[in-house]
């Protein structure tokens, strides 16, 4: 008889994607069965994570210890609110991304689809393990596993551009994690004698305040997936991957694993009060603010749509890092909310970019004039996702930006409020033009929409296959729904403190 306690459900959440990966390989000769396995597993995983969420809402904190490496250092999984939020987001969006992947991979006639789905499942398992890590040792192991499992996805096309992008991806992420993050973890172990995540942190009373800024720098720059400048080049390089990879792993799983780690370290290793008292994170506010503005300015120069979205992501991730640097409960809550809001909006935008490519094989914004009239569902969804990233009501992104602004005001950081407001104006400058160009631009007479599927009898509307269009419509709707759910997310994150 299968046990279904919260602890067992925690174990199942880590095993289900791995079982899925095995079944995907066994289904290599049957694409329908392979994709059915992916969809069914994603639904089962989300149901399992929802069960855990209900348990956490009732005050349960499941914990699972698998292996003691040395006394005091264990491979441990434990659930707290921040990790629970990240796991719910990742598992829920895996369902939508799986539907989209089927439409994209088939519609674009991609090769090596079994390999794609296999490593995608491994990456999901690594993401859930990061979300549920009970200490920094466990998080580091699966942080590296996520890098390795996503590398084959980045180089999926196996051309020279993909291989170059993959080399940059590995070089930046491994050099930062081994050169900085591992050093920070060992240093923390020496100072505190533990790597466990504990409310209030483990360094207060153990670390000399003079070294705290240095240790924080090692953690933040060592978490290369957070794409803080100057360690951001891997993210634009990784845009050579198929769009489902960009949409999920580089708008949700990989990049969010980075900023999630920054928040987790801030709360459970350093402690918000300790950082506030020592002022050790003030320098980080300025680095995050610079990244927000510089990446936004670079995004405005990019004609390639995915490249523009990549630099947008670099900018938006630093909103979350800024929330951590403010060293306040409101800053952490705002950062946690932005993980969710940005993921939904940016996934919508990336899926729209992929749908445009499947339908037209166009990647440059300057080539998309008039496409909005032929692809209204896709471009309308792009507009909704863009408005959420910009932070306009009634989209979810409005609330996370509002909470971050209030957190900056609470710390009397007027310049940071200005940075966030200017950034939103820059968001308008680089996200709205593709929509305006698509709907109101004059299409060339020779424009072709390739093999796009036609919606409606004789009305000239051409969209990507329905399995591409439906998911992006769902995430666009999600941007709106999150506006009305923001209060629940805020209250849930308050239980961290």
Which tens digit of pLDDT belongs to each residue from 174-187?
999 999 999 999 99
Task: Give pLDDT, residue 320.
Answer: 96
In eight-state DSSP terms, residue 251 is I
> Does residue 158 sit within a domain?
no
Task: Give pLDDT, residue 250.
Answer: 72
Mean pLDDT, rounded, for 412-433: 96
> Does residue 214 sit within a domain?
no
* CA atoms of 373 and 412, how far apart (whole Å): 46
- Minimum mean pLDDT among 67-76, 273-282, 327-336: which range? 67-76
> Does residue 468 sit within a domain?
yes
Percent above pLDDT 70 for the chain: 96
The total domain count for the chain is 1
Mean pLDDT, rounded, for 315-332: 96
Task: Give pLDDT, residue 2.
Answer: 63
SS3 content of the chain, % helix, strand, coil (to 5): 75, 5, 20
- The model's pTM is 0.93
> Does residue 330 sit within a domain?
yes
> Does residue 226 sit within a domain?
no
SS3 74: strand
- pLDDT score of 64 more than 50: yes
> Does residue 66 sit within a domain?
no
Mean pLDDT, rounded, for 364-371: 91
Range of the domain at 482: 283-497
> Does residue 89 sit within a domain?
no
Tokens 């037209």, located at residue? 360
* CA atoms of 5 and 128, how far apart (whole Å): 18
- pLDDT score of 120 more than 50: yes
> Does residue 111 sit within a domain?
no
Mean pLDDT, the chain, whole residue set? 91
Mean pLDDT, rounded, for 39-50: 96
How many Cα atoms occupy the beta-carbon half-sphere of 300 within 13 Å?
A: 12
Mean pLDDT, rounded, for 19-45: 93
Task: Give pLDDT, residue 207.
Answer: 87
Task: Give pLDDT, residue 460.
Answer: 64
- Minimum mean pLDDT among 22-36, 130-144, 217-231, 233-247: which range? 233-247
- pLDDT score of 388 more than 60: yes
One-character DSSP codes across 436-487: HHHHHSPPPTT---TTPEE-STTS--EES-HHHHHHHHHHHHHHHHHHHHHH
Would you state the structure tokens that stand for residue 273, as one six-digit string? 């009060």
């Amino acid at each position: 008889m299968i046990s279904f306690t919260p602890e067992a459900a925690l174990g199942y959440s880590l095993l289900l994607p791995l079982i899925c990966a095995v079944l995907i390989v066994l289904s290599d000769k049957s694409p329908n069965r392979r994709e059915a396995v992916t969809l069914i597993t994603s639904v089962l995983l989300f149901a399992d994570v929802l069960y855990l969420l209900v348990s956490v809402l009732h005050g349960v904190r499941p914990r699972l210890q698998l292996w003691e490496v040395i006394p005091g250092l264990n491979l441990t999984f434990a659930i707290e609110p921040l990790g629970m939020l990240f796991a719910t987001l990742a598992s829920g969006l895996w369902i939508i991304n799986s539907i989209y992947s089927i439409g994209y991979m088939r519609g674009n006639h991609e090769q090596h689809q079994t390999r794609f789905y296999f490593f995608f499942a491994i990456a999901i398992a690594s993401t859930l393990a990061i979300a549920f890590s009970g200490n920094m040792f466990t998080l580091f192991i699966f942080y590296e596993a996520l890098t390795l499992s996503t590398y084959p996805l980045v180089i999926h096309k196996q051309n020279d551009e993909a291989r170059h992008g993959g080399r940059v991806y590995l070089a930046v992420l491994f050099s930062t994690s081994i050169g900085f993050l591992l050093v920070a973890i060992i240093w923390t172990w020496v100072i505190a004698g533990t790597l466990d995540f504990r409310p209030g942190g483990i360094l207060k009373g153990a670390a000399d305040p003079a070294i705290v800024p240095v240790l924080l720098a090692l953690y933040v720059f060592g978490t290369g997936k957070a794409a803080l400048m100057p360690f951001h080049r891997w993210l634009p390089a990784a845009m050579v991957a198929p769009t489902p990879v960009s949409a999920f792993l580089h708008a949700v799983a990989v990049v969010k694993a980075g900023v999630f780690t920054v928040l987790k370290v801030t709360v459970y290793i350093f402690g918000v009060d300790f950082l506030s008292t020592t002022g050790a994170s003030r320098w980080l506010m300025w680095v995050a603010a610079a990244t927000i503005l510089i990446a936004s300015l670079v995004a405005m120069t990019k004609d390639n749509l995915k490249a523009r979205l990549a630099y947008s992501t670099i900018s938006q991730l630093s909103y979350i890092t800024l929330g951590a640097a403010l060293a306040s409960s409101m800053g952490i809550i705002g950062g946690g909310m932005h993980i969710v809001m940005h993921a939904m909006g940016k996934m919508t935008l990336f899926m729209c970019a992929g749908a445009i490519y499947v339908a037209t094989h166009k990647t440059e914004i300057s080539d998309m004039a008039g496409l909005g009239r032929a692809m209204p569902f896709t471009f309308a969804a792009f507009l909704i996702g863009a408005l959420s990233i910009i932070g306009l009501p009634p989209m979810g992104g409005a609330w996370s930006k509002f909470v971050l602004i209030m957190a900056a005001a609470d710390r009397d950081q007027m310049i940071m409020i200005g940075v966030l407001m200017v950034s939103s104006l820059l968001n308008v400058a680089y996200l709205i033009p593709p929509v305006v160009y698509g709907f109101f631009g004059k299409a060339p007479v020779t424009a072709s929409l390739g093999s796009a599927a036609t919606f409606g009898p004789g009305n000239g509307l051409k969209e990507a296959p329905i399995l591409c269009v439906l998911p992006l419509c769902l995430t666009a709707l999600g941007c709106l729904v999150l506006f009305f759910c923001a209060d629940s997310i805020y209250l849930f994150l308050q239980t961290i403190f």
